[in-house]
Amino acid sequence: MPKYKIAIVGAGPAGYFAAQAFQKAQNETHSFSIDMIERLPTPWGLVRSGVAPDHPKIKSVSKVFEKIARESNFRLFANVELGKDISLKDLRDAYDAVILATGCSAEKKLGIKGEDLFNCISSAKFVPWYNAHPDFAKTKVDLNTDTAVVIGAGNVALDIARMLCTDPDELETTDISDHALGMLKSSRIKKVIICARRGPEHAAFSTTELRTLSNLMNTNISIDESELKKAYCRVSVMAGVEKDIENNLETMRLIATLRKKDVAKNLEIRFLCSPIEIIGNKKVEEIVFAENELKDGELFQTENTYSIKTGLVITAIGYDVAGYSGIKVKNDRIVNIAGHVENNIYVTGWAKRGPVGLIGTNKSDSLHVVELIIKNLKAPKGLTGIDNILKSGHLIVDQIGWEKINASEVIAGQLAGKPRIKVDNWDHLISLGTSK
Ligand code: NAP
């Protein structure tokens, strides 16, 4: 039976779902040998370093990934970086098809004055910092301020605001990094303000994520009810309003009208404000906003401004895709047509469609790309795959090595009453993952 060699670069949800689609597509005419290549010494992508620690149910998809990884036609090559340890040309020549499932991990900039001051941090750094990503364990974060401002009205902004407001004792039983938990315990933050540039009806929050805000025991939530009423009015004259928008507005209305508790923290969601400058002497001290208006669905920045005194600004305004030599990037994604990049190179997940969608969105996305690949495949080329490309002596964390890291983290976690204690040091991860 013809056996095709497939390389998947990136061991996140989109990569695993692509592998699963190949496994399910095997039949008497096609069989596939899948090599998954990952820059980090650990797989699972955003499920490990993006999903908030207080959302363990979302992380349970990792059981599906492990089932895929234990199939006999799957091999993991972690600690192998595309562009450094191997080139795209190497891969293209060594596989029948290559799928880039490398996500969007680069930070997006606001492009305003003061953005480079200390303690103005992007979600691309802050989220992996609290999730024990080995590249971000040493990120400098200062929570010694009474007010934090989060820019953006998406689910990542909600995750970050929740992390800042949740009682750290409740995070003890999660897999949050030790360094972040320690900092949160000594945090002085009493007020978190999420700032959205458009109206409540345009917020990118999921309704389920908004609802979780009411679980914050020690935090009151403030949303200006008059802004919600204006949003209802604007929406009422629109044709064919999406159910999601109605659900979001209703959830925000319910949250806004919740009776205020006698608690220490406040989380405010503020609309129609665009950050125009961050002020401070080496460190963030204040952020200036322009007030915005909506006219006939269009956003206008007014001349009116106001500022918020704050020692911490976190931007959660989306992500940019990282490019590779010879690959074009445009509008936060690798240039592609329905997942086809060029020759035998394909793309899936956030790198294909931009940084949007939930983990499950990647399943259908990757399935469609795999169907396209199978349609385009000619006879297998009988290629050698990665084994002859990597320099001899290169330390690979394979599936068995990853299972050693995994077991070590889970056992350490069990002793501490946590799902796991993640290792956040490259050398330690590699030594665990390559130990005999
Ligand atoms: P997002 O959903 O695209 O939200 C980005 C937000 O940033 C939007 O409100 C956007 O406003 C705003 N923004 C962009 N540029 C801005 C600027 N220059 N100034 C001010 N605001 C700006 O991105 P995300 O929150 O990073 O989430 C990425 C994806 O991951 C989403 O699909 C999200 O649903 C998913 N996710 C899901 C979960 C979960 O299900 N638990 C958790 C985290 C993330 P405009 O709308 O005006 O552009």
Tokens of 401: 């090595």
pLDDT of residue 174: 98
Ligand 1 site, residue 156, Cβ cutoff 6 A: yes
* Amino acid (one-letter) located at 275: P
HSE-CB at 155 with a 13 A cutoff on CA atoms is 15
pLDDT of residue 263: 95
Question: What is the DSSP code string of 411-430?
Answer: HHHHHHTSS------HHHHH
Ligand 1 site, residue 355, Cβ cutoff 6 A: yes
Residue 1 has pLDDT above 70, yes or no: no
The dihedrals phi and psi of 297, each to the nearest 5 degrees, come to: 80, -5
% of the chain residues with pLDDT over 90: 91
pLDDT of residue 122: 98
Tokens of 84: 């450094």
Q: What CA–CA distance (Å, rounded) separates 41 from 111?
A: 33
Output the CA–CA distances (angstroms, integers) from residue 320 to 100, 157, 386, in the order listed: 15, 16, 28
Considering only residues 298 and 326, tell me which one the structure prediction assigns the higher pLDDT.
298
Give the pLDDT mean for 57-75: 97
Residue 367 has pLDDT above 70, yes or no: yes
Angle at 399 (CA atoms; ends 397, 402), nearest 5 degrees: 60
Residue 84 has pLDDT above 90, yes or no: yes
Quickly state the pLDDT bin for 250 (edges 50, 70, 90): very high
Q: Mutual orientation of helices 13-25 and 62-69 as an angle, nearest 10°?
A: 50
Ligand 1 site, residue 433, Cβ cutoff 6 A: no
pLDDT of residue 29: 84
Scored b (16 or more CB within 10 A) or e, 117-138 reads bebbbbbbbbbbbbbbbbebbe
Q: What CA–CA distance (Å, rounded) separates 130 from 397?
A: 24
Ligand 1 site, residue 353, Cβ cutoff 6 A: no
pLDDT tens string 182-205: 999 999 999 999 999 999 999 999
The 3-state DSSP class for residue 367 equals helix
pLDDT of residue 324: 84
- On average, the pLDDT of the chain sits at 96
Distance 354 CA to ligand 1 centre (A): 11
pLDDT tens string 374-390: 999 998 888 889 988 99
Maximum Cα–Cα distance for the chain, whole Å? 70
Element (H, E) at 210: helix 207-212
Closest-lying ligand 1 atom to the alpha carbon of residue 157? 25
pLDDT of residue 261: 93
pLDDT tens string 286-320: 999 999 999 988 999 999 999 999 999 999 999 99
Supply the pTM of this predicted model.
Answer: 0.97
Q: What CA–CA distance (Å, rounded) separates 130 from 234?
A: 38
Residue 284 has pLDDT above 90, yes or no: yes
Residue 117 has pLDDT above 90, yes or no: yes
